[in-house]
Structure 1
Amino acid sequence: MSNGARHVLGVVAGLLLPPLIAAGLWYGVGELRLTAAQAFQISWSAIGVLVAAGIGLAFLAGSRLSPVASLLGGLSFTVLGLLPLLATLGVPLLLPENLLPDLLETGYNTIAYTGLQLVLGVVLLMVSLFPSRWRSTAEPAVYSPAYNEAPSPYLPPRSGSEDATRPMYRD
Structure 2
Amino acid sequence: MTNGARHALGVLAGLLLPPLLAAGLWYGVGELSLTAQRDFRLSWTGIVVLAASGILLALLLGSRLSPVASLLGGLAFTGLGALPFAEMATGVRLLPDGLLPSSLRSGFMTVTYSGLLFLLGVALLAVSTFPSRWRGRPQEADAYDGQWQSAPSPYLPPSTGLPEDATRPMYRE
Q: What's the TM-score, normalizing by structure 2? A: 0.82
Q: Does 1:120 align with 2:120?
A: yes
Q: 1:114-146, CA deviations, whole angstroms, 9 ceiling, x for partnerless residues?
A: 111111000000001111111111123337656
Measured in 2, the distance between the counterparts of 1:54 and 1:43 equals 17
Q: Does 1:97 align with 2:97?
A: yes
Provide the residue aligned with 1:33 in structure 2: 33
Give the structure 2 partner of residue 23 of structure 1: 23
Alignment of 1:87-166 (within 5 A): 87-142=87-142
Are the aligned partners of 2:81 and 2:115 in contact in 1 as well (CA < 8 Å)? yes
- Is the counterpart of residue 44 in structure 1 residue 66 in structure 2? no
* Aligned twin of 2:4: 4
Q: Which position in structure 2 is the counterpart of 1:63? A: 63
What is the Cα deviation at residue 151 of structure 1?
7.2
8 A contact 2:84–2:95 mirrored in 1 = no
1:99–1:150 distance in 2 versus 1, CA, 3 Å: farther
Cα 1:150–1:17 shift into 2, 3 Å: farther
Poorly superposed stretches of 4+, deviation over 6 Å? 149-153
**Which residue does the alignment assign to 2:159?**
none
**Paired position in structure 1 for 2:158:** none
For residue 17 of structure 1, give the secondary structure of its aligned residue in structure 2.
helix
What stretches of structure 2 of length at least 5 have no aligned partner? 156-168
Q: CA deviation at 1:92?
A: 1.4
- Number of residues of Structure 1 aligned to a counterpart in Structure 2: 154
Deviations 1:71-118 (A, max 9, x none): 000011111110111112224122332111121111011011111111
- Whole-angstrom CA distance in 2 between matches of 1:48 and 1:38: 19
CA RMSD of aligned residues (A): 2.1
Name the larger-Rg structure: 2
Distance of 1:152 and 1:121 partners within structure 2: 64
| Alignment partners' CA distance in 2, 1:82 and 1:150 | 70
Query: Which position in structure 2 is the counterpart of 1:81?
Result: 81
Distance 1:147 1:130 in 2: 43
What SS does the aligned partner of 2:90 have? coil
Distance in 2 of aligned mates of 1:33 and 1:151? 80
Alignment correspondent of 2:72: 72
